[in-house]
Amino acid sequence: MSFESTTSPLKSVQACWARISQNSPIYNFLFSDIVLSSATHGSMTASLPVTSHHLNSKGGLHGSVSATIVDWAGGMAIASTGLEKTGVSTDIHVSYVSSARLGDVLTIEGNVNKVGRNLAFTTVTIYKGEGEGKTVVAHGTHTKYVLRDHPDNKRS
């Protein structure tokens, strides 16, 4: 199955999320409340309320949750370009800037820097809050191995 050229970036991201969420217990556990807000070619935005599932023993956002968000959002940004299969992670770097607490809302922005023949490079920023008052919680870079020219991975 491939996306047709008339498929919008948001529809591409939503279709990718619907497909992978069916087969990912960890994504379902952590991201059952995630909301895909918008997408353009090469970028996506989502929001996620912080629940008890996301916290470390000190009551702050767990670092592994931030890393999982970088993994997820990098893939969703790649999906916004029309690639149906967003590849497998080869490298993830996360810089932790601040934290978030129970009840905070995270704003997640994923952007594609480049999709090459076999590798895709993305950046993800996780904010606490929404709008102009948001503050950076974590920033990550994510590299994925993709098979861009594979017949099952058509671009729109």
Provide the mean pLDDT of the chain. 90
What percent of the chain is modeled with pLDDT above 90?
Answer: 80
Decide if 124 contacts 96 (C-beta within 8 A).
no
Asked if the model's pLDDT at residue 5 lies above 80, the reply is no
Helices 9-21, 63-79: axis angle to 10 degrees equals 130
Closest CA to 140 of 90, 64, 74, 53: 74
As a whole number, mean pLDDT of residues 103-109 equals 97
Task: Name the pLDDT band for 99 (thresholds 50, 70, 90).
Answer: very high
Task: Name the pLDDT band for 6 (thresholds 50, 70, 90).
Answer: low
Domains, the chain, in order of start with CATH, read 9-145 (3.10.129.10)
Task: Name the pLDDT band for 130 (thresholds 50, 70, 90).
Answer: confident
Instruction: Return the sign of the alpha-carbon dihedral for residues 13, 19, 22, 23.
Output: negative
Task: Name the pLDDT band for 110 (thresholds 50, 70, 90).
Answer: very high
Asked if the model's pLDDT at residue 2 lies above 50, the reply is no
More confident: 1 or 117: 117
What percent of the chain is modeled with pLDDT above 70?
Answer: 90
Alpha-carbon distances of 53 from 5, 21, 23, 78, 136, rounded to whole Å:
38, 17, 19, 26, 20
Q: What is the pLDDT of residues 19-68, one digit of tens each?
A: 999 899 999 999 999 999 999 999 999 999 999 999 999 999 999 999 99
Closest CA to 98 of 126, 76, 75: 126
Asked if the model's pLDDT at residue 104 lies above 80, the reply is yes
* Distance from the Cα of residue 68 to its chain's centroid: 8
